[in-house]
Amino acid sequence: MPFSYFDEKGQAIGYSVDLCNRVIDNLKREFKMPTLKVRLQPVTSATRIPLIQNGTVDLECGSTVNNQERHKQVDFSLTTFVVNTKFITKKSSNIRTVADLKGKTVAVTSGTNTMQKITDLDKEQNLDLKILNGKDHAESFLLLTTDRAVAFSEDDILLAGLAATSRTPDAFALVSIPGMLGDPYALMLRRDDPQMKAAVDAALRQVFASGELQRLYDKWFVQAIPPHNVVLNFPMSEQLKRVIAKPTDSPDPQAYK
């Protein structure tokens, strides 16, 4: 939440799902396939890349970071969001800075870009962290809420969503990581398919240029969202505003400073 998740009826909804639907509409026109059928395939952080690679999935509509390492395996659309890696903790833990985590147990979701970041941070700052892996973000957050970990590290908007939909949203706080650059989210697709990438990017350019991206952003990040009318109150960052004005598919975090 709010990128790609199931509502109370089991329907896939979210910001990334809406963007993918716009792309699908453009593919139908571009390839003259008005009856193009869409099959939804749930994925996890661990399965999303293999399922793209083996052809099970043509377009992944989630919350996946576009980085240089992944370009060895898959390709990405234009950037659709920019996130910053942070920790979430219970306010009662009195964890206020990264240094406060020294010697503590933290949760990180398996198969995510965050794993390497936290491993590097641990070495660079001699934090002596014990890292526990959740199979997905829900399990990693559960490690925090059940006190098996004092913090959980992930992209800031995902952490905000987990906190907002918890039983005690006001019990959590985000801890910034000084010097950590932002990361671009994008729709993921197979490598070596320039026609597909061009069609996906063309659809996104239309969404950006028409002003629809701002409306979709407000729908999912500012207004109340289903299934429980949670309000994330997460205003658009200056990083994303620059992307909308000048679209890019760069995997380099320096491009989003």
Question: What is the model's pLDDT at position 113?
Answer: 86
Query: Per-residue pLDDT tens for 97-135?
Result: 999 999 999 999 998 989 999 999 999 999 999 999 999
CATH number belonging to domain 5-83+182-256 = 3.40.190.10
Could you tell me which of 26, 27, 5 has the C-alpha nearest to residue 16?
5
30 has a pLDDT exceeding 90: no
Average pLDDT taken over every residue of the chain? 95
69 has a pLDDT exceeding 90: yes
Whole-angstrom Cα distance, residue 9 to residue 14? 14
Long-range interactions of 9-14: CB distance < 8 A, separation 24+? 12/40, 12/61, 13/226, 14/61, 14/220
Question: What is the model's pLDDT at position 123?
Answer: 97
Order of strands across the sheet with 183-189?
A: 59-65, 183-189, 75-83
Whole-angstrom Cα distance, residue 256 to residue 65? 13
Question: What is the model's pLDDT at position 24?
Answer: 96
Confidence of residue 1 (pLDDT cuts 50, 70, 90): confident
Question: What is the model's pLDDT at position 3?
Answer: 95
82 has a pLDDT exceeding 90: yes
| Domain ranges within the chain, ordered by starting residue | 5-83+182-256, 85-176
Do domains 5-83+182-256 and 85-176 share one topology? The answer is yes
Long-range interactions of 100-103: CB distance < 8 A, separation 24+? 100/175, 101/127, 101/129, 101/150, 101/151, 102/126, 102/127, 102/128, 102/129, 103/127, 103/128, 103/129
The partner residues of 81 in beta bridges, in order of sequence, read 185
Secondary-structure class of domain 85-176 per CATH? alpha beta
Query: Per-residue pLDDT tens for 221-241?
Result: 999 999 889 999 899 999 999
The partner residues of 183 in beta bridges, in order of sequence, read 83
In three-state secondary structure terms, 110 is: coil
Query: Per-residue pLDDT tens for 206-223?
Result: 999 999 999 999 999 999
